[in-house]
Structure 1
Amino acid sequence: MKYNDIDFNGKTILITGGAGFIGSNLAFYFQENFPQSSIVVFDKFRSEEKFSNGNLKSFGHYKNLIGFHGDVICGDLNSKEDIKALEAYDFDYIFHEAAISDTRVYDQEIIMQTNVNSFYDILEMARRMNAVLVYASSAATYGSLPSPQTVGKEHPENPYGFSKYAMDQIAYRYMNIYPDMTIVGLKYFNVYGAREFFKDKTASTVIQFGHQILSGKAPRLFEGSDKIVRDFVYIKDVIQANIKACAPKKNGVYNVGTSKPRSFQDIADILQKELGTDYGTEYFPNPFTGYQMHTQADISTSKEYLGYTPEWELEAGIKEYIDEIKTLYKTEVAHG
């Protein structure tokens, strides 16, 4: 499906973090819809290295790119040499998805180096090449502010959220200094869908609950999960936002959600309906203090300046996603 009138055929497109969840979906979107485009994936790919919280340092996975025909470059955003390798190309569009995206990593130095320092390099590359730059910001910039979360009212409460907040401030400065550049930041809310499995513990509750149910167990939810709501947005709406961000009416930072928050209980119930099970729900106390109970993206400016309108309700998104959840359970979990 094509989301606007831009013809990407004949264009050269860079996707950093292209072996990750959103990046790999972008890569296949261009490959399938614009077969004459040249797509370059730049990704660190995963190693065995872990943060102190036990989570992997990089989530990029080759399995997300099986069937991809473009160029693949294994590189680290923190390496000037690796970034320099990209100078061999002349990019028309840059989608900057690469980041440390784990909200429970508290090593401020590595997060700021990876997410913020490298952003200057990406911005400068876009400026030199006259490339359109669309980058991943995050709803984590809002912290636990009350809903609806509105661009311009941020209060990050972890190093990751602050790093994305800092990126937004840098981007705004570039927009002012170089008004001829096209720069758009997208604050993703709770994204779910195809190719997220390799995010491991940071994958959405949709696939995590799905795999609990497929293993014959009741989904495990925090007590009061019918009152814990999030703005869950399907991957296809996120791709739509990225494509529309390539021709904005106005540079800026925009929310990408549905503005229709749904509960964790809703997800578990929809999954059981789709999977034909009736295991009930197992509840346990929420171990987190200061846990956010409600998120809802204010998408008024996204509609106005990007022409973004979410098309996927939670029920429809899970219904389309269910076959992949089952396949991954068989191939990666049951035989993992």
Structure 2
Amino acid sequence: MKYIYDDLAQKNILITGGAGFIGSNLALYFQQHHPQANVCVFDKFRDDTYFPSGNPTSLGHFKNLLDFRGEVVVGDINTDLDKLKDRDFDYIFHQAAISDTTATDQTLMLETNFEAFVNLCKFAKQRGAMVIYASSAGTYGNSPAPNIVGVGEVPENIYGYSKLQMDIFVRRILEQDSQIPLIGLRYFNVYGEREFYKGKTASMILQLGLQALEHKKVRLFKHGEQLRDFVYIKDVIQANVKAIEARQSGIYNVGSGNARSFNDIIAVLKKHLGDFEVEYIDNPYTFYQNHTQADITLSSECLSYTPRFSLEQGIESYIPEIVRIFETQVRAR
């Protein structure tokens, strides 16, 4: 389904972090629905370096792009933007970031998520390109829900802080000139196809589904009643594409608009995968978001964004992919 009437023919589109979860979905969306657009993916791709947590320092994976036929440029957003210096772009979808919320290297996080973004905005301004970038619900920390842009922005970790610094920078720019085409999208808990290579940072929906298939048992922090705003990847892509025709620049929440519990996920998974055991364990983390819920009023008004997938509908759509991952990746190990 196309979300805009402009077919983007001959428009030049750059997707940073395009080999990651959301970036690769964007690249393949444009390839399918706007085949005459010129899409360029820019990504560091993963190597053999890991954070102390054991998570990869880069989540980009070539297998996310096996069906992509556009241009691929390999580069680190921190150091290699010059590889694109002779290129003009109409739209830049900035997804490149350290998105691991357990990473603790504050310098690297701010350099990668904030300073590189500032440089990218300068790059875009020189070319007259519109920037649509990934912010995060992590900017709200544990502030009371529903989460409203501009209210309760008290991040609890360096990841959320780095994303808030991006948003503060954007607000300063737009205070000087509100006509600059610059849109921030605060993603809530995104799940769906092409997240497998995020490993331990993949959504709980994928992790619980794979646990259920492999062990007939899953583990949840006591007592599964924590509330999150889970948003299906196809709705996130919808928000990005509709942002092209936003009524005004600014920062917008991208969620389902509803808070659902982990126990709700369990109930939906059991409907599709059959019965399995649930073990409730203590939560070892000092910081943990217990309740997130996106207020999407402005997103609806200014982006014409309306979520199409409830949690039940999103998981049902995702189930075949979860089963496929289990059969080809987990069981085959």
Aligned partner of residue 73 in structure 1, secondary structure = strand
Deviations 1:11-55 (A, max 9, x none): 110000000000000000000001111100000101110112221
Pairwise CA distance, 1:223: 1.5
1:200 aligns with 2:199: yes
What is the aligned residue count? 332
1:155 aligns with 2:157: no
**Using the alignment, how far apart are the partners of 1:66 and 1:152 within structure 2?**
39
Aligned partner of residue 134 in structure 2, secondary structure = strand
1:52 aligns with 2:32: no
> Quick one: which amino acid aligns to residue 234 of structure 2?
K
Unaligned runs of 5+ in 1: none
1:75 matched to which residue of 2? 75
Residue 122 of structure 1, aligned match among 98, 120, 123: 120
Residue 100 of structure 1, aligned match among 98, 101, 108: 98
- Aligned positions of 1:219-230 closer than 5 A: 219-225=218-224, 227-230=225-228
Deviations 1:201-232 (A, max 9, x none): 0000011011011113212111110x211000
**Using the alignment, how far apart are the partners of 2:136 and 2:246 within structure 1?**
19
Q: Contact 2:228 / 2:260 at 8 angstroms: preserved in 1?
A: yes
Q: Contact 2:156 / 2:287 at 8 angstroms: preserved in 1?
A: no
Q: Contact 2:136 / 2:163 at 8 angstroms: preserved in 1?
A: yes
1:24 aligns with 2:24: yes
> Quick one: which amino acid aligns to residue 331 of structure 2?
A
**Using the alignment, how far apart are the partners of 2:168 and 2:314 within structure 1?**
33
Pairwise CA distance, 1:180: 3.4
Q: Contact 1:248 / 1:306 at 8 angstroms: preserved in 2?
A: yes
Deviations 1:48-103 (A, max 9, x none): 10112221100100000001000111100110xx2011122210100000000111
Aligned partner of residue 134 in structure 1, secondary structure = strand
**Using the alignment, how far apart are the partners of 2:176 and 2:120 within structure 1?**
16
Give the TM-score of the pair, scaled to structure 2: 0.97
Give the TM-score of the pair, scaled to structure 1: 0.97
**Using the alignment, how far apart are the partners of 2:85 and 2:127 within structure 1?**
9
Q: Contact 2:216 / 2:275 at 8 angstroms: preserved in 1?
A: no
1:335 aligns with 2:316: no
Residue 289 of structure 1, aligned match among 286, 294, 303: 286
**Using the alignment, how far apart are the partners of 2:203 and 2:89 within structure 1?**
32
**Using the alignment, how far apart are the partners of 1:27 and 1:175 within structure 2?**
28
**Using the alignment, how far apart are the partners of 1:169 and 1:50 within structure 2?**
29
> Quick one: which amino acid aligns to residue 319 of structure 2?
I
Q: Contact 1:20 / 1:60 at 8 angstroms: preserved in 2?
A: yes
Aligned partner of residue 219 in structure 1, secondary structure = strand
> Quick one: which amino acid aligns to residue 35 of structure 1?
P
**Using the alignment, how far apart are the partners of 1:179 and 1:144 within structure 2?**
30
Deviations 1:266-287 (A, max 9, x none): 1122112111x21131111122
Pairwise CA distance, 1:5: 2.1
Aligned partner of residue 73 in structure 2, secondary structure = strand
Pairwise CA distance, 1:126: 1.2
- Aligned positions of 1:1-336 closer than 5 A: 1-79=1-79, 82-153=80-151, 154-225=153-224, 227-275=225-273, 277-336=274-333
Pairwise CA distance, 1:176: 2.9
> Quick one: which amino acid aligns to residue 90 of structure 1?
D
**Using the alignment, how far apart are the partners of 2:180 and 2:5 within structure 1?**
20
More displaced stretch, 177-186 vs 198-207: 177-186
Unaligned runs of 5+ in 2: none
**Using the alignment, how far apart are the partners of 1:148 and 1:155 within structure 2?**
14
> Quick one: which amino acid aligns to residue 232 of structure 1?
F
Q: Contact 1:191 / 1:234 at 8 angstroms: preserved in 2?
A: yes
Pairwise CA distance, 1:115: 0.7
